[in-house]
Amino acid sequence: MDGGELKLYGAWASPYVQRVRLALKLKALDYEYVEENLANKSAALLHLNPVHRKVPILLHGDRPIAESAVILEYIDETWPRRFPLMPADPRERAAVRFWCHFGSDKMFPSLTAVIHSADEVQRAAAVGEVRENLKLLEDEGLLPRRRFFGCEKLGFLDIVLGVDAHFLRGVTEVAEVDLGETSPPSPAGYEVRSSPVRPGSASPFRYDSRLPPRPPPKDFGTSLGRRRLL
């Protein structure tokens, strides 16, 4: 492996970690995976990401890289010829980065707010925010009227927003909320992501099969270091 072996520190329920796992899979890169207990972080995690103390952390040789979007760009730039993730056009790249921030700063926090809401009032507000965020994506034409987010080819944004979509399905199960009336019908609308990785590809390799199996919902929040779900 150029630059040394790859090791990923993660937590199974973290969409940020799943982003990196998907990118590594698409790039066909081998790596060692280390599952962290975020309620009791390892010394290695604290040493490798002393600023944020969060996963994912990708260790390439002896060089740690943190922050999922930074890691994705690092992987794409280090192995540019294997399944390029970023578009070539600078304006398209800027748009990808913009919506990537949207996923991290708005979409994902609204989803976790549903899980961690303390009562029905809070939960209704959080669900409302998820719906607003989905509407923003829809208004931008980023939800799956097309095969992939934003462009004709699976790429960076599919990894970022597609993983949020997977998380969203988990959220609806765990919090027992129905987001089905949103426009587009949220979890179902995302099912398009279950299509083969490459258009025309004969590969039976499907989106869900690239994600690790999900343990029972009760473990969903605790694995992210929380004591209770609701």
Ligand X SMILES: N[C@@H](CCC(=O)N[C@@H](CS)C(=O)NCC(=O)O)C(=O)O
- C-alpha span between 167 and 161 (Å, rounded): 10
Q: Is 61 left (phi over 0), alpha (psi -120 to 50) or beta?
A: left
Q: Is 60 helix (H, G, I), strand (E, B) or coil?
A: strand
Q: Minimum distance from CB of 56 to ligand X (Å)?
A: 6
The DSSP secondary-structure symbol of 38 reads: T
Site string for ligand X, 35-64 (x = CB under 6 A): ---x--------------xxxx--------
**Choice between 19 and 193, CB closer to ligand X:** 19
Residues in the chain: 230
Taking CB positions, which residue lies at the least distance from ligand X?
Answer: 54
Site string for ligand X, 142-181 (x = CB under 6 A): ----------------------------------------
Query: Cβ atoms within 10 A of the Cβ of 194, count?
Result: 10
**Choice between 52 and 91, CB closer to ligand X:** 52
Q: Per DSSP, which regions of 93-224 are E strands?
A: none
Per CB under 6 A, the list member of 6, 8, 9, 11 interacting with ligand X is 11
Both tokens of residue 36?
């962290």
Contact footprint for ligand X (CB under 6 A) = 11, 14, 16, 38, 53-56, 67-69, 104, 224-225
